[in-house]
Amino acid sequence: MTSNPMHATPNIFILAVVRSADKTVVASYLRSNEVTVEGVRECIASNPSMVRGKRYSATGPAQTIHYTLDPQGRVFSIVTAPKYPLRIAFAALDELQEMFNREIGIRVASATEGSLSRPAAAIFKHIYEKYENPAKVDKLTSVQEKVDVVKSVMKENIQQVLANTEKMEDIEAATEQLRNNANEFKGRSKQVRDAMWWKMWKMRLLIGGLVTSVLLIIILSFTLSSGSSKK
């Protein structure tokens, strides 16, 4: 791989964690012999009124020290080239703070000078390699933003599909209910038709019986009347 002239010297010189109470540099990662942790210690010591969570920067002729104090009294610092973007410097500190506190932060209270440098080496290396080239960080940020947009769109599409699926299920349920109602109506119609058919035949039988009875009465009356006349 060919070297980039822009990065002939590092953009990040030092990463350090300082215990605020006594200004002990409990862990550090140096990438340049021109800068030492003593400069970091002196810069932090010169600001006794630091507010937790606030971000600070001090720019010199050859480097800028960025640092912030967390709620546990740990100062996280990064020393960069003067033109290194401020927002990327503090993005690096935010990630350093999160990783360091999660993995070994509890050990800071009893740590001695530099005793956590080795345990924190992998964390420092990750931060350095990720943030050394600010242009690369911007590209990663851009890609991540695009990924987040795609994820958001996909999430909305999935929610829409699920909503449509629920609507289809509702439609299918309504269709099934209509089909059941139609079958029930058909069954009831047949029952009513059969009942009407039997009722009609009952009426016919009743009328037929009445007519037959009347005819029998008339015939019997006529027969009896004829018999009486002959006598």
pLDDT of 156:
77
pLDDT digits (tens, 9 = 90+) for 10-39: 899 999 999 999 999 999 999 887 778 999
pLDDT of 4:
41
CA–CA distance, 122 with 29 (Å, rounded to integer): 10
For the chain, give the mean pLDDT: 84
- Confidence (pTM): 0.58
Predicted confidence (pLDDT) at residue 225 exceeds the cutoff of 90 = no
pLDDT digits (tens, 9 = 90+) for 182-208: 777 777 777 777 778 888 888 888 888
Average pLDDT over residues 34-58: 92
CA–CA distance, 9 with 186 (Å, rounded to integer): 89
pLDDT digits (tens, 9 = 90+) for 64-85: 999 999 999 999 999 999 999 9
The amino acid at 200:
M
pLDDT digits (tens, 9 = 90+) for 93-150: 999 999 999 999 999 999 999 999 999 999 999 999 999 999 888 775 566 556 767 7
DSSP bridge pairs for 65: 58, 79
Residue 38 sits at φ, ψ, to 5 deg, of -65, -35
Residue 28 sits at φ, ψ, to 5 deg, of -155, 160
- DSSP state at residue 34: T
226 versus 176: the higher-pLDDT residue is 176
Alpha helices in 114-133 (DSSP H): 121-131
